[in-house]
């Protein structure tokens, strides 16, 4: 396997939507959930995976790590290549996608995983922080999606997939997420619109709603996360990216629209706030849960979110 270029494409063994030799393109693929997706697809599904991110050193380390596993597996494993790219630069995105498709052929699945969480109270974040969050978390997904979808439609490619990685912060928001959460809500809206537009082209759209994960990004966001936000999130599981990736790929294989990564609270949040988005596969269960979750949502908002905010800001004023 080579870094950047030099691997030929062979589509003779495309036996399933996520089977051997399918081309999976992952933004933000050098760390956290992105690299976990790449490792899972290459080692367990025999896919050809392209990962892109800004840091070349991190990309090389990710490729070497996945290569070692693939080489021990022999022919059943897939292949991985990496290319540096800033997904907020639409010209770079187009160039990198063209290079990736020269090596591995048309992209079958695009996973937009690049993003960051700028946490902090509204008045303590600059307007530039808000702009940067929208540019990376939202436009950083729009740019590659535009190119890949256009290529899929022009190539009359069946069974293409677009996966937009949002967050549980796209299902609800609270103190500390005023810059981050809106950018993820935007991804959710994009996913619902795209799903309708791309139905006639047999291109499936999925939106992922992961919770907190034990990743480099989580370590960074914790440095600026207000204490009130930590209070609200106390007790929430900190999942490993590998387990989230596995659960989400299993959901993809079942054609589920919303991907919760095995997070129970995320699943219930999704059931409470899905609106007109596709529901779960179990309509009976969703019908039973609906009236119950109305009360659960009221209770959580009233006795957890609002009460935590009042306590925190009251104590802050006393200390001042």
Domain boundaries, the chain: 23-282
- Strand order of the β-sheet with 203-208 is 79-84, 48-53, 23-27, 109-112, 160-165, 203-208, 258-259
Q: pLDDT value at position 128? A: 98
Whether residue 114 has pLDDT greater than 80: yes
Which two tokens mark 53? 């991110």
Whether residue 174 has pLDDT greater than 80: yes
Whether residue 209 has pLDDT greater than 70: yes
Confidence band for 291, pLDDT divided at 50, 70 and 90: confident
Whether residue 135 has pLDDT greater than 90: yes
Q: How far is CA 105 from the centre of its chain?
A: 23
The pLDDT tens digits for 218-234 are 999 999 999 999 988 88
Q: pLDDT value at position 19? A: 62
Per-position b or e across 117-151, b if 16+ CB within 10 A of its CB: bbbbbeeebeeebbebbbebbbebbbbbbebbbeb
Question: Which residues is 50 bridged to in the sheet?
Answer: 25, 81
Which residue, chain included where needed, has tokens 């740019």?
143
Average pLDDT of every residue of the chain: 88
Cβ pair 164, 205 in contact under 8 A: yes
Which residue, chain included where needed, has tokens 């959710």?
188
Confidence band for 316, pLDDT divided at 50, 70 and 90: low
Cβ pair 77, 69 in contact under 8 A: yes
Confidence band for 290, pLDDT divided at 50, 70 and 90: confident
* H/E run at residue 20: none
The pLDDT tens digits for 244-274 are 999 999 999 999 999 999 999 898 888 888 7
Strand spans (E) along 168-217: 203-208
CA-based nearest residue to 184, from 217, 228, 140, 216: 140
Cβ pair 243, 232 in contact under 8 A: no
Q: For the residues 145-158, what does the mean pLDDT come to?
A: 94
Percent with pLDDT over 70 in the chain: 91
| pTM tops 0.85, yes or no | yes
| Helix locations, 15-104, DSSP H | 32-44, 56-73, 90-104
Whether residue 185 has pLDDT greater than 50: yes
Q: pLDDT value at position 317? A: 58
Cβ pair 316, 121 in contact under 8 A: no
- At the topology level, CATH places domain 23-282 in Rossmann fold (3.40.50)
* H/E run at residue 317: helix 307-319
Confidence band for 15, pLDDT divided at 50, 70 and 90: very low
Distance CA 174, CA 294 (A): 18
């Amino acid at each position: 396997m080579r870094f950047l270029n030099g691997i030929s494409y062979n589509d003779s063994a495309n036996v399933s939507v996520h089977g051997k030799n399918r081309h999976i393109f992952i933004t933000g693929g050098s760390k956290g959930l992105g690299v976990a997706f790449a490792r899972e697809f290459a080692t367990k599904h025999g896919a050809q995976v392209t990962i892109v991110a800004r840091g070349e050193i991190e990309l090389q380390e990710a490729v070497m790590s996945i290569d070692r596993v693939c080489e021990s597996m022999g022919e059943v494993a897939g292949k991985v290549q990496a290319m540096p790219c800033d997904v907020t630069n639409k010209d770079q995105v187009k160039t990198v996608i063209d290079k990736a498709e020269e090596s591995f052929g048309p992209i079958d699945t695009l996973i937009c995983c690049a993003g960051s969480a700028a946490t902090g109270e509204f008045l303590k974040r600059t307007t530039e922080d808000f702009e940067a969050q929208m540019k990376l978390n939202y436009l950083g997904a729009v740019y590659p999606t535009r190119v890949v979808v256009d290529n899929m439609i022009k190539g009359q490619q069946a069974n293409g997939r677009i996966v937009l990685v949002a967050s549980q912060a796209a299902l609800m928001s609270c103190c500390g997420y005023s810059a981050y959460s809106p950018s993820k809500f935007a991804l959710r809206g994009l996913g619902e619109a795209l799903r309708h537009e791309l139905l006639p082209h047999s291109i499936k759209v999925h939106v992922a709603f992961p919770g907190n994960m034990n990743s480099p990004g989580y370590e960074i966001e914790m440095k600026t996360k207000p204490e009130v936000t930590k209070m609200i999130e106390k007790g929430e599981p900190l999942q490993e990216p590998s387990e989230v990736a596995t659960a989400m790929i299993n959901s993809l294989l079942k054609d589920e629209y919303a991907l919760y990564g095995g997070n129970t609270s995320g699943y219930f949040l999704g059931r409470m706030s899905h609106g007109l988005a596709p529901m779960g596969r179990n309509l009976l269960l969703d019908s039973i849960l609906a009236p119950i979750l109305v009360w659960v949502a009221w209770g959580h908002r009233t006795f957890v979110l609002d009460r935590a905010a009042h306590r925190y800001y009251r104590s802050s004023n006393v200390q001042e």
